[in-house]
Amino acid sequence: MAYDGQVSMEPMLDTIGPMAKTTLEVAQLLQAIAGSDWLDDRQLGAPTTLPDYVGAVLGGRKEGIKGIKIGVLKESFERPSMASSYENVVRKAIAKLGLRGATVEDVSIPT
């Protein structure tokens, strides 16, 4: 995505990208904004051919999430600020993903 015109309050933490109600809408937005504008040297060497994000979403509907690998960041649940009520909701959602055929694994980012 082009950086031109974006404003970041915290360059190390902020991420700019599409937000929408459905995965298909996000794919449509990403298809429109993905790629380099060639005005920013941070994008030198960026791919010129982009994936078909919309096609991937539509094609994926046949299989659902069966076979998808999902990594759950272990450290996110170890933070003192993590409310147990929030953790319970998130863990229930993660369990549902597993029941629907996804492979769910704990992952860790070493510090």
Question: What is the reported pLDDT for 92?
Answer: 95
Question: What's the confidence (pLDDT) of residue 45?
Answer: 77
Residues 2 and 55 in one domain: yes
Residuewise pLDDT in 10s, the chain (111 residues): 656 666 666 666 666 777 888 888 999 998 888 877 777 777 777 778 889 989 888 887 777 788 888 999 988 888 888 888 999 999 999 999 999 888 999 999 877
- Do 6 and 41 sit in the same domain of this protein? yes
| Number of domains the chain is built from | 2
What is the reported pLDDT for 107? Answer: 93
Q: Would you say the C-alpha torsion 10, 12, 51, 2 has a positive or negative sign?
A: positive
Instruction: State how far the alpha carbon of 47 is from the alpha carbons of 17, 50, 57, 99, in Å.
Output: 18, 7, 21, 36
**Whether residue 53 is found in the same domain as residue 74:** no
Q: Same domain, yes or no, for 73 and 56?
A: no
**CB neighbourhood size of 34 (10 A):** 17
